Amino acid sequence: MNTFQKITNEVKKAINGKDRAIVTTLLAILANGNILIEDIPGVGKTTMAVAFSKALGLKYGRVQFTPDTLPSDITGFAVYNKDTNTIIFNRGAIFCNLFLADELNRTSSRTQAALLEAMEEHQVTVEGKSYPLENPFCVIATQNPVGASGTQLLPDSQTDRFMVRISMGYPDSEAECKMLLNRSSINPIDSIETVVTKEQLLEMQQNVKDVFVKKDMASYIVSLVSATRNNNLISRGASPRATLSLTDMAKAVAFAENRDYVIPRDVHNIFLNTISHRIILSPEATSRHLSTEQVLKDILSRVKPPRI
């Protein structure tokens, strides 16, 4: 059993029947990306974030977003100390390794924007001074379904900064029964053991970066993303950042399968999770009752992969 499988097995102690969501989240962490989990309350989004922080040995921070949450609650704030005649910076909750932004779409756009710099540049700027965040660092944000009471849409610039979007969904009857029995005596979170140190995780992330992408594979990835920009069923295609995210996620899949090179199957495995939240369907697609998943699967079937 390799390290990747050991980590997922530890997280599965707390999350039952959601193997795909667990694997995708770990792949995004290894690719040094951020994760957006969209689902109804109570399906285990927060539990999964805590489970990963324990299995990966990461310092964990969390903010429950509400309409009155302020940007300074996230980034921290500077205050003047009259005794020493200096400015003292009080660090916010973002100064950790794994930050859970719980129900992000319940707060104001200004507070949502406080995460942008941290997600992209791994630093925050307060009163004109930049403060680096500790590596490794990633954001796991949860959001309630669009249109739910008290929610508002995340800005496109923020959504695009999430490497993947996943959905937990309801567990099946067997998984829900197992969850009930597991929690009858102890909290499964308490049984999760740390599999890797922060230093080992950083090494794994570097190994993912070093995975080789052949020119033919690079062209294939670009062709897939370009197909979202030239499709009458899509009014806004994926950005160049999506191309980079798709490549990094494909590298992570190859790494998880003990390969040091990317093949088309790696791209197929994570294409939907990486691209679906970055596109907007056209009125034609809506009138034909087509889902984002159906449109993207059609693109996968039409763009011919290279021969490896």
Half-sphere exposure in the Cβ direction for 287 (13 Å, CA): 5
Within the chain, all domains assigned CATH 3.40.50.300 are found at 3-191
User: Could you read off the pLDDT of 239-275 as tens digits, one per residue?
Assistant: 999 999 999 999 999 999 999 999 999 999 999 999 9
The predicted structure's pLDDT at residue 168: 82
| Partner residues linked to 270 by β-bridges | none
User: Could you read off the pLDDT of 41-62 as tens digits, one per residue?
Assistant: 777 788 889 999 999 999 999 9
Q: Answer with the residue of higher pLDDT: 269 or 113.
A: 269
Within the chain, all domains assigned CATH 1.10.8.80 are found at 210-302
Give me the CATH topology for the region 210-302: Helicase, Ruva Protein; domain 3 (1.10.8)
Full-model pTM: 0.93
Rounded alpha-carbon distances, angstroms, from residue 160 to 2, 36, 52, 118: 32, 10, 23, 14
Q: What is the mean pLDDT of residues 205-227?
A: 97
Does domain 3-191 fall under CATH 1.20.120.550? My reply is no
